[in-house]
Amino acid sequence: MNLKIAVLGTGSVGQTLAGRLTELGHSVKVGTRDVASTMSRTEPDAMGNAPFATWEAAHVEVQLTTFADAVVDVDVIVNALSGSASLPVLQSIGAQRLADKILLDVANPLDSSKGSPPTLFVKDDDSLGEQIQRAFPDLKVVLADGDHTVFVSGNDSTAKQAVTTLLESFGHTDVIDLGDISTARGTEMLLPIWLRLMGSLNTVMFNFKVVR
Amino acid sequence: MNLKIAVLGTGSVGQTLAGRLTELGHSVKVGTRDVASTMSRTEPDAMGNAPFATWEAAHVEVQLTTFADAVVDVDVIVNALSGSASLPVLQSIGAQRLADKILLDVANPLDSSKGSPPTLFVKDDDSLGEQIQRAFPDLKVVLADGDHTVFVSGNDSTAKQAVTTLLESFGHTDVIDLGDISTARGTEMLLPIWLRLMGSLNTVMFNFKVVR
């Protein structure tokens, strides 16, 4: 099934997802704050990733547009923004444009203002997924995170099934539906050990598997 | 190597660890607040576990004693108390008796006062492991948690090695040293997703494996 998908965010997560979704035959737009500014950057980002224009040159079928234009007439919106940018950007797009679309949320609620490793700006009595769902009650928010085992949280069963199908098309065979959007608390709270494992193992080439 | 070990706590975690350590040839004492009271209970606990006296009858080689007596002349202390009881009980034992012993900490910082699933009484900017270490600077606190992959955190390398050897004698082959006691924040924050997985999978027969 060919879907129309908007990926919000031009960082490495947005690039990776937009590229993979395009390969799978979906029509992908990438949303950014200011198209000219994003395309004019020539320096790698803080993590050493090439500027967006370099990636775009290799993915000419992906249209770069404003956040608000990106979400027009799409089936699925992917939130590949930073955790702190997520709510402000969605608010700038506005509830009317977002309406009852599916939001596949992969943003991490990291707070890097207090040093490294970063802490979270939500704790286990709330989650960024819930904050987005509360701000946009009609939006079908589905948090999905994980690699070996992927954890899915959301209030709308149909939206979760659509996201699960998308994840399976990515090659994921172990997708666990944790329940409603409040279960995003569990998934988001995996970040603290993930950050320590990255420090201890000195690589990001690992992931969590739930062994049953 | 035969070790002298004190297990603090008579609940199911304390019983399981004390039983397994005894099987492995170690000399085990179990500590409780009031020996007569613990032995006089005849009802199962809230989780349906048999009362301690039933377990003790099948493990006569394990001595039940007060918290303070349990830690006298032992090599390793195992904290199998509830998270909220941990600091008060350790304070009742006193810093002098605990001195520079190894504390193998498996307690979970759960707060069940706000409904189910419980939240944590520390968030990712602190951990129960660190609270214990701060309260008893000379104690060699080693947090160990996990099953398929076991995560170990602590400031004292020798104590971590002793605990790792003990874990390996339990049959654990995948033990990851995350770093100093502050890395307990990551391990303790696994609880929120563990609680949701228990609800979603409807079993406790699962665990986390770090796939590299």
pLDDT at B47 (0 to 100): 78
User: Nearest C-alpha of chain A: how many angstroms from B152?
Assistant: 11
CB A53 within 8 A of CB A88: no
| Residue carrying structure tokens 């050493």 | A48
Average pLDDT over residues B187-196: 93
pLDDT score for B155? 93
Tens of pLDDT along A44-60? 887 788 899 999 999 99
- Tell me the C-alpha distance between B100 and B146, whole Å: 25
Q: CA A62, A68, A74 angle in degrees (round to 5)?
A: 55
Q: What is the DSSP string of A33-72?
A: S-HHHHHH--S--TT-PPPHHHHHHT-TTSEEEEHHHHTT
Reported ipTM: 0.85
Strands B102-105 and A207-211: what pairing?
unpaired
pLDDT for the residue numbered B21:
95
Q: What is the pLDDT of residue B115?
A: 86
- Choose among A125, A195, A210: nearest Cβ to B208: A210
pLDDT at B183: 94
Q: Decide if pLDDT at A41 tops 80.
A: yes
Taken in order B108, B114, B119, B122, is the CA torsion positive or negative?
negative
pLDDT tens per residue across span A153-209:
999 999 999 999 999 998 999 999 999 999 999 999 999 999 999 999 999 889 999
Q: Please give the interface size between A and B, counted as residue pairs whose CB atoms are below 8 Å apart.
A: 115
Report the distance separating Cα B56 and Cα B79, nearest Å: 19
Contact at CB, A205 and B197, closer than 8 angstroms:
no
Please write the tens of the pLDDT for every residue from A8-31.
Answer: 999 999 999 999 999 999 999 999
Res A123: pLDDT: 86
Task: Read off the pLDDT band of B146 (50, 70, 90).
Answer: confident
HEC assignment per residue over chain B:
CCCEEEEECCCHHHHHHHHHHHHCCCEEEEEECCHHHHHHCCCCCCCCCCCHHHHHHCCCCCEEEEHHHHCCCCCEEEECCCHHHHHHHHHHHCHHHHCCCEEEECCCCEEHHHCCCCEECCCCCCCHHHHHHHHCCCCEEEEEEECCCEEEEECCHHHHHHHHHHHHHCCCCCEEEEECHHHHHHHHCCHHHHHHHHHHHCCCCCEEEEEC
Give the pLDDT of residue B143: 94
Q: Please indicate whether, in this complex, the C-beta atoms of B189 and A124 are within 8 angstroms of each other.
A: yes
pTM for the full model?
Answer: 0.90
Q: What distance in Å separates residue B109's CA from the closest CA in chain A? A: 12
Q: How far apart are CA A39 and CA A64, in angstroms?
A: 9
Task: Chain A: give the shortest CA distance to residue B155, in Å.
Answer: 14
Give the H or E element holding residue A153.
strand A150-154
Dihedral over Cα of B194, B149, A194, B124: its sign: positive
